[in-house]
Amino acid sequence: MRVVVVGGGIGGLALGAGLRRSGYEVAVFDRDTDVAATGGYHITLDQRAQSALGRLVPPEVMRRLLASGSALRLRERDAFWDRRGRLLGYGPDLAGSASIDVDRITLRTLLAEAVGEDLHLGRDASGVGYDEHGMPRVAFADGTSVTADLVVGADGTHSVIARHLAAGPTNRPAGLIGFSGRTQRADLSAAEQQRLGSRSTMGIGPRGAALYVGFLDPVGNAALDAPELRRSVTTGPTYIWGAMFPESARTESLRDLRGTQLQTALLDRFRDRRWTDHTLEVIARADPASVAAFRFNAASTRAADLAPWNAGRITALGDAVHATPPTAGMGAGAAIQDAADLLDRLDTISDGTTTLADAIGHFEARMRQRGSEVLTMAMKTVRLILVTDTPLGAVATAVATPIMAAAARLRR
Ligand SMILES: Cc1cc2nc3c(=O)[nH]c(=O)nc-3n(C[C@H](O)[C@H](O)[C@H](O)COP(=O)(O)OP(=O)(O)OC[C@H]3O[C@@H](n4cnc5c(N)ncnc54)[C@H](O)[C@@H]3O)c2cc1C
């Protein structure tokens, strides 16, 4: 069976690696020309995502990934702050967590290595359909095309393939705009290093402003202590942060800015909302080249709305089907699980126990369920942030946060 995968992001590369490892004929096409030239901060992989990856990639790639990942179990428990940096409470104890955080660039590069020469870069898919023999065919912007027994759209939020199958968009803007950047821990003042600690934190203030600060240390907190295998682009304790605001004409205009200009405009936006200066140090001292803006898109949280098509020789996975805002840190993990599940289903065709349409139908049913679960979790945080931008929510946030901060002080 020849499988063509459109999109060499996290899900497409994971599938390509798994198909190649299992002996299928596979070709993965991505419009990017360099897998390392990809944005994003870090990706969280929980136990299920890691087990799925373990089935898809060779053991040595898995070991390099673990040696490049930062283990959550070695981190302090997460903390929640108000806009003045007052502690509101802590998240659960992470000592038993099997999850790891890994740079998106590191993960994508390692997956690309596992796909090897079956990955074709610089190929922008423009459409999909069937040839005269009823086999699926992908057309590219350069005028070429390829046919296959099965086409899988792993081409992300603005998927050409899923859009064709669903006869329209599969997701829409979630109402939030995100801004991300990287700040070395050592570049912060001693007081902020102390306050933020070796943990991830979330600060929420009135009028829809939120600041997530993730902590990544693939060296000190390596998930697997094997420095010789480490490939991480993050080489020391680093805060990788994501600021969030409700979408509006004003926040939309920030998307056209880059580097220092974007950083300054972002700081002004927080100061307008009366965040105190020390809470903004992590943004002010970021590497300007790392600061970027992106819109959150989300598919429906209802399983029945996802992949609204009949199972056949063209399917899709990951964000193409269940575009998930990064607020739950589960989008990439879900795409990897989709890939492992699809491979398992295809294996049932080779051993003669099922047909292609049945295998794809079972795969899509599981994917709808998984997509709905991760979207429901991610949208909880999106709604919590958006509610602080309503008149009642703004008052409630202003009144409740000092009370929560005082209660947290008493508990300490
Ligand atoms: C730049 C970027 C940064 C991100 N950063 C984070 C993050 O820091 N943390 C987090 O939790 N999640 C992040 N995400 C989201 C997370 O990576 C996704 O939820 C997860 O990767 C879903 O995997 P996927 O394979 O479905 O889609 P993606 O990983 O988005 O991959 C889609 C791929 O399809 C390719 N593509 C799109 N259209 C075409 C086309 N027409 N022809 C050929 N190729 C095409 C794209 O170049 C891309 O490589 C990021 C996504 C992107 C695109």
With contact defined as beta carbons under 8 Å apart, do 207 and 273 qualify? yes
- DSSP-assigned beta bridge partners for residue 26: 3
Residue 182 near residue 105, CB atoms below 8 Å? no
> Mean pLDDT across the chain, nearest whole number?
93
CB 276 within 8 A of CB 83: yes
Residue 57 Cβ < 6 Å to ligand 1: no
- For residue 244, count other CB atoms closer than 10 A to its CB: 25
Query: Which residue positions in the chain have pLDDT lower than 50?
Result: none
Ligand 1 centre from 10 Cα, in Å? 7
Of 35, 11, 198, 1, nearest to 113 by C-alpha is: 35
Counting ligand 1 atoms within 8 A of each CB, the residue from 5, 29, 30 with the most, and so the one to mutate, is 30
Quote the ligand 1 centre to 55 CA distance (angstroms).
21
8 Å CB contact between 35 and 121: yes
Closest CA to 265 of 279, 278, 276, 280: 280
Q: At what angle do helices 104-115 and 59-68 cross, to 10 degrees?
A: 170
Neighbours of 408 (CB within 10 A): 18
Closest CA to 205 of 404, 6, 5, 412: 404
Q: How far apart are CA 14 and CA 372, in angstroms?
A: 21
For the record, the structure tokens of 22 come out as 């299992």
> Quick one: tokens of 380?
């909880």
Per-residue pLDDT reduced to its tens digit, 235-268 = 999 999 999 999 988 888 888 899 999 999 999 9
75 residue type, one letter: R
How many helices (H) and strands (E) are present in the chain, helices listed first? Answer: 13, 18
Smallest CA-to-CA distance from 229 within 38, 66, 48 is with: 66
Name 209's bridge partners.
205
> In this structure, which amino acid lies at residue 259?
G
- The pLDDT of residue 406 is 61
Other C-beta atoms closer than 10 Å to the C-beta of 221 total 19
Kindly list the structural domains of the chain, giving each domain's residue range(s) and its CATH number in brackets, ordered by start: 2-411 (3.50.50.60)
Tell me, what's the pLDDT at 255? 85
Rounded alpha-carbon distances, angstroms, from residue 386 to 129, 258, 343, 361, 410: 40, 25, 38, 36, 29
For residue 134, the model assigns a pLDDT of 94
Q: Is the minimum distance from the CB of 156 to ligand 1 under 6 angstroms?
A: yes
Residue entry with tokens 């290093």: 193
Q: pLDDT tens for residues 11-29?
A: 999 999 999 999 999 999 9
| 31 C-beta closer than 6 A to ligand 1 | yes
Instruction: Count how many Cα atoms sit within 13 Å of the Cα of residue 287 in the half-sphere of its side chain.
Output: 12
Q: How far apart, in Å, are the Cα atoms of 37 and each of 40, 105, 106, 140, 266?
A: 10, 8, 11, 21, 24
82, 278 in Cβ contact below 8 A? no
pLDDT, residue 341, reads 98
CB of 16 shorter than 6 A to ligand 1: no
368 pocket-lining for ligand 1 (C-beta < 6 Å): no
Tell the residue number behind the tokens 């990897």, with chain if given: 336
Contact status, residue 174 vs residue 375, Cβ threshold 8 Å: no
- Other C-beta atoms closer than 10 Å to the C-beta of 113 total 18
- SS3 label, residue 21: helix
Measure 174 CA to ligand 1 centroid, in angstroms. Answer: 17
